[in-house]
Amino acid sequence: MIRIGYLGPEGTFSEEATIRYAAGREVTIADRPSLEDIFRDVAAGRLDQGVVPVENSTEGAVGAVLDLLAGPYNLCVHGEIFLPVRQTLMARRGLRLEQVERVISHYQALEQCRGFLRRRLPTALLEECASTAAAAGRVAASAAPWAALGPARAGLKHGLQEIAPNANDYPDNVTRFWILGKEPRPAKSEQNYKTSIVFGLGDRPGALYTILREFALRGINLTRIESRPAKKNLGEYLFFIDLMGGQEESMVREALQEVNSITLGLKILGSYPVEA
């Protein structure tokens, strides 16, 4: 039985993504209190896989996940899931929208609904918490005029009512999740693959251009480029790239060999099937 972990508690979008991924598979799923707990437990073999959010279509990359991927855990990407995200404003029964004095949620949810909250609840305090599900639990446990932002299923779990069923600033809000494991997965020839890498660069003119040129010369499409502080000296960055093709394909393999000779510590995060 495969053991899969996600960022809890129950009722989060991460749980929903994990349930979708687990459909039709012989698995058990379990929540973890933090992203690092997921990485640690997969690395230690206490979990076989972990499901983590890596980017959102409106708020961009989840920096904490990128930092952990670049860290000491050496996990591999096994796959990806794209989950449509609908943020729902929920409160105890009987509370009307205009009565809400505080809105509690994960910082990503608050940012995804910033415009809505400014228009409809301009005087409400905004409070961050560990997860959208935790926000629903706090609101349910309090008699104060508070509301939570998150998935509707979290509200149902805690007996809350929907007072604004779609609070997203952008209706086509999607979060991309990665499935992480300890060992790389073998590629299947009948599937299209994507490869993710991370590397550092020396401080010299044209360094990033030199890297990108290796992919362009071989007609390899790059679908994402992100930078994160290297956590060392100010101005030092790590670069995360997603590219089309598996690392065993000849053109991709050649490009990665060249990139490895130029960069500081190329790390191949994995090749995995492209999600349709």
Task: Report the catalytic residues.
Answer: 175, 177
Cβ-Cβ contacts under 8 Å for 122 (sequence gap 6 or more) = none
DSSP states along 30-72: EEESSHHHHHHHHHHTS-SEEEEEEEETTTEE-HHHHHHHTTT
Reduced to 3 states (helix: H, G, I; strand: E, B; else coil), residue 203 is: coil
In the DSSP assignment, the letter for residue 187 is P
Helix (H) or strand (E) holding 65: helix 63-69
For residue 132, the SS3 value is: helix
Cα distance between residue 61 and residue 228, in whole Å: 10
Cβ atoms of 132 and 148 closer than 8 Å:
yes
Distance CA 118, CA 104 (A): 14
Point out which residues pair with 30 in neighbouring strands. 5
Identify which of 274, 258, 260, 165 has the alpha carbon closest to the alpha carbon of residue 224: 274
User: Is-cis flag, bond preceding 9, omega within 30?
Assistant: yes
Place of tokens 């794209």: 82
How many angstroms separate the Cα of 165 from the Cα of each of 97, 152, 192? 11, 8, 37
